[in-house]
A and B are shown apart, each in its own frame.
Chain A
């Protein structure tokens, strides 16, 4: 950021204030335009993402370039509508080429994408360099669409941008159910008689429109990120498609606000790269901190589960030791536990400490002892373990040797009602396939009272 202030004279702060006071009414329009673009590109890009065609936006944006140049060459005008139509046409040709190549030649889908992208881009650059050598008026600024320049947008540009983006958003809302069906289950959509091809084409048209209209703002080269990154980030926040799309469009809007500001504060700065950087930052934050599926959340859930499993394993080991002593002697040393369940000493000690804290066991000089509460919990786990073993033995016809491993894992997640259901379905709920008694609720309490 230091170097950044070097570039813009000390009035950055004033510029910023001027920006937010909308002293130049144009600023407001550009800001609105870029927010609309950020939202519609994220939403429509979300569907491309779900269709597993994340990079299609990259290719289509590159493919728009020769159309822009051709339109300028033919009509010698910078009228936004003509440029837009030119870009639309050449993007569509690119879209069909990407589709056609893998279907009709040996060329694979990824290569088709790269071929289309680089060929059209080269063609666009060739035309651009040709135009720059010509003696025509108002050709300057044509190269701004490579990296985008929010500040250089004209009123006509913004009007067109607003119309197109609103059109995209409205269309998505209207056809939401159909798009969702196609995105998630195309063959089902076909069977219920949906005109999948027509909707696919509509989706493609919307993607192309978003890409083309965004060129002024974001630029050809980085348009892909605006379509792709918001959805990739939003997926960490929710599993519901409507929520995900709303979050994606919010992320798109935030990055649009940030990058438009920067484009105004430092006019030499291209807008597109800043938009990508702010989007990527939002993506990384989502990846790490999202409350539902973020990495930190997943990591802590995994850790909690691991701790729970370790605790329960020790409780069950203590129960088994107790059972061997015919419930007469309730003090066991660490070595006894370790002899029955192999576990690193450090983990064993820390888990034992935790169990003491939860008052499931007590520790004294004679060793560790299950408390009443601990005994109940241990009996419950053992019951679930053995019921499951029985169930597998009776219903799935697994031999007694095969059942232990699976029961070892499921005992931690069985619930009260599942336990009751197991009991109902079993003919023998007294002893497990190894001949051990299955402790039941009341008996464990009785025994606890006896002590």
Chain B
């Protein structure tokens, strides 16, 4: 029972953090960059672990941020210097990074407690068994799963960043040109967003793996994008969607005995499609009303 609570708490924090960051990705039309970074982060995690031999949170976050920013910067330079379309340059960079990551994982299986499976699914079901202690392994107090605290810290960072720089983020997201003319450093805010994406994906990595995190980044935020009228409501709606997806997904996985993280992502998608369906029906009805009143 207590394990279920830890799993649910971790999943809901992961989903919420991803939804918040995802809103800005959708607005800045950087959904593919989110996809790319969540793939390359794998390399960051593996390299950080192989170099320092430690799984401490700051090291993992550091590795992820470096690789995440490197992905963004390399794609951008390849686009400028190599004169390739921007989506092509993103695709080349992240597939290479991800491939190297997977190769390293299969080379050092046994030394890293990562395997190809966990890269894809994450292991949210095992989250409760990897706990951390305050003050020594023997006599310390167990304070809960590692993954939970990792995502809790990252969630706080994301939340504080958004609250503190809400106006700036809003201007950059909706009016990049206005922001530029106001003298706002767009490049800085772009890379700040990429940093947030990197730390969110790395903290979600244990729970949901490298690829499903894309679903959590993009899908709830897109659902919110369809109905929200302002940035603030969009953020709230995205988080709400993500939480509903967690609950439905968790029960779904319980019923089907399927992977928890995949089920959460699937339910997020189903919620999006239901939203689109409702909007579509409303649109049709409005059209019919209009044509009826015109006929009358």
Contacts and interface: CB of A to CB of B under 8 A. Distances in A.
Nearest to A293: B83
A277 B107 contact: no
Interface in B1-54: 26, 29-32, 34-35
B85 interface: yes
Interface stretch (B116-124, B143-151, B235-243): B116-124
Interface in A76-133: 101, 104-108, 110-111, 113-115, 117-119, 121-123, 125-130, 133
Q: Which of A115, A225, A229 has the most CB of B within 10 A?
A: A115
B82 interface: yes
Interface in A222-279: 222, 224-225, 228-229, 232, 235-236, 268-270, 272-274, 276-277
A280 B96 contact: yes
User: What size tier do the contact residues of chain B reach?
Assistant: 35 or more
Nearest to B78: A287
Contacts of B211: 62, 118, 121, 221
Contact of A49 (B30, B88, B103, B108): B88
Is chain A's binding surface mostly helix, strand, loop or mixed? helix
Contacts of B276: 101, 105
A354 B53 CA distance: 56
A113 B219 contact: no
A157 interface: no
B215 interface: yes
A228 B91 contact: yes
Interface stretch (A52-60, A164-172, A427-435): A52-60
Given A225-B99, A228-B88, A269-B103, A118 B212 contact: yes
A4 B107 contact: yes
A126 B116 contact: no
Nearest to A6: B107
Interface stretch (B132-140, B158-166, B257-265, B286-294): B257-265
Interface in A315-374: none
Nearest to A100: B276
Given A4-B107, A104-B280, A114-B34, A129 B226 contact: no
B222 to A, nearest CB: 5
Nearest to A277: B99
Contacts of B95: 222, 224-225, 228-229, 276, 280
B88 A54 contact: yes
Given A228-B92, A273-B100, 11 more contacts: A62-B211, A108-B29, A111-B26, A114-B35, A114-B214, A126-B253, A146-B116, A225-B96, A276-B95, A276-B96, A276-B99
25 contacts: A54-B85, A54-B88, A58-B91, A108-B31, A110-B29, A110-B30, A110-B87, A115-B219, A117-B214, A119-B219, A121-B212, A121-B215, A125-B259, A125-B261, A126-B265, A129-B262, A221-B98, A221-B102, A222-B98, A235-B84, A268-B109, A272-B99, A273-B99, A277-B100, A280-B92
